[in-house]
Chains A and B, each alone.
Chain A
Amino acid sequence: MLTNRSKQVVKREMSLAEKLYLPAIFSGMAITFKHMFKKPATVKYPEEKREMAPIYRGHHVLKRDNAGAERCTACGLCAVACPAEAITMDAAERKPGEELLYREEKYAAKYEINMLRCIFCGLCEEACPKEAIFLTDTIVNPEYARAGFIYGKDKLVERMDARIDVSKRQTADVAMFKMGESAAKHNQLYNPKGEQ
């Protein structure tokens, strides 16, 4: 009764018109005929792509800052947060002269996500204190072998000539909330322009 659409079922003999079935068949055919002139609901996929939801969680990106340095410091919080244990990494120390490549003194020499294990929950993104890892609206490509699904830094790190916009996932509010007040102050000191 919640929807007010329930109908009392009446069991009675069918009238002659109902027994003939033909009127019902004709009305059914009228419905299908009408549908022939309706706009098809098809999205012609490879040429035409349905827009992803702004918070869609596809495969990951390791962001660089505006100068092109990798933001990841290989702290391992994402790997700890990951419920599927899909992330592994090896840390290394930044050598003099590599300041343009890595933003901080420590960086990830190896960073791998097993896309077959990953459940695309986004907890790594939530755990990351450096705003380095984000889930994008890109779908993980199909592969013939399992090995191809283990994405290394070659596939994960953002390319400077094809930057990925993550502003939909990282709004200013979220960033502030994650950073906390002290981090915000720190940010103001070292990054007053608010670069990503």
Chain B
Amino acid sequence: MVTYILIKFVLVLFVFLLALTVAAYSTYGERKVSALMQDRIGPDRAGPYGLLQPLADGIKMFTKEELIPTNSSKYLFVLGPSIAMLTALMAGVVIPWAGPIEAFGQQLTFQVSDINIGILYIFSVVSIGVYGIMIGGWASNNKYSLLGALRASSQMISYEIAMGLAIVALVMKSGTLSLGEIVTQQQGDWINVVYQPLGFLIFLICAFAETNRAPFDLPECETELIGGYHTEYSSMKLGLFLFAEYINMFVSSAVISALYFGGYNLPFQAALGLEGAWLAVLQFGFFFLKIVFFIFLFMWVRWTIPRFRYDQLLHLGWKILLPLAILNIIITGLVMWANGSLA
């Protein structure tokens, strides 16, 4: 029992640090990718190739003056970024990082908790994340913050429905809500994106909206709302909001790769003939590569597509993605019925 708790503790710590490191270097990556796409160089002063830039940014954030507006509700003002950060970090626990190995006399799974409703867990935690933004925007007592918070909440609610329905089709196909099992099912088989291309597309678009990334970054929307929900925030509280966005990006990249791109499974895994720890390391590396690719995709799209207008955003969510997701469910059901795989 002690070993079990110890192993889980180490795993939690690992996931925590991984999420923070990846998020920190995503900020660096974001600036570098945007610079390269705009024919610039990007950060290159702090350390070789600017690699210490996240550290410098962190120090800057911590040493900035902390301002709490006089007319804000101070308790909620602090609660907002805390919730945003907390929920962003919580979502990572159900992601399987590598296949199970035998060690210390028991089976080790590289997944903090393989709860049988893993997907629902992620959904619920992510939807709590909206509260962080809403509370932060409300507590600032600023019209721009409030508008940003309003946009964030309606946007997230709209897109969560289409996202959930896109997942329903996948769950119908897999027959389970556990992330670990969905990944295991894709072992030695075609990855899910082959069976669910439309579902993947809807899920991807909704993931952009859920993480408040361009072209759906209306809640922060510098051009109209100054900074949206984080207009009044300064110092590390602002840092937490920005950081939470990058952690969300990391988690959704991980979820996308786990659900639709085979998670940690290597192509031709059986033919490789590897076993034990080496296989686990290789699997983790491959999974990480997929995550990095999706994070890059997030940035790539951000620096290519301009922001939606607000009515276009809701139009896309309710009148296009939602019917498409329902259509996807119907098609999946029909195909399963034709296959005779309906129990």
Contact = CB atoms under 8 A, between A and B. Distances in A.
B319 to A, nearest CB: 12
B304 A25 contact: yes
A32 B304 contact: yes
A178 to B, nearest CB: 45
Contact of A33 (B35, B38, B39, B300): B300
B288 interface: no
A28 interface: yes
Contacts of B303: 32
Interface size class of B (residues with CB under 8 A): 10 to 19
Interface string A6-30: 0000000000000000000100110
Contacts of B304: 25, 28-29, 31-32
Interface stretch (A40-48, A49-57, A142-150): A40-48
A38 B300 contact: no
A36 B36 contact: yes
A29 B39 contact: no
Given A35-B36, A36-B36, A29 B41 contact: no
B40 interface: yes
A32 B39 CA distance: 10
Interface in B5-51: 33, 35-41
Contacts of A25: 301, 304-305
Interface string A183-195: 0000000000000
A36 B40 contact: no
Contact of B41 (A31, A32, A33, A44): A44
Nearest to B34: A32
Given A25-B305, A28-B305, A40 B300 contact: no
A35 B305 contact: no
Nearest to A25: B305
A191 B187 CA distance: 93
Nearest to A36: B36
A36 B37 CA distance: 5
A32 B306 CA distance: 13
A39 interface: yes
Contacts of B301: 25, 29
19 contacts: A25-B301, A25-B304, A25-B305, A28-B304, A29-B300, A32-B300, A33-B37, A35-B36, A35-B37, A36-B36, A36-B37, A39-B39, A40-B35, A40-B39, A40-B41, A41-B39, A42-B40, A42-B41, A44-B41
Interface of B: 33, 35-41, 300-301, 303-305
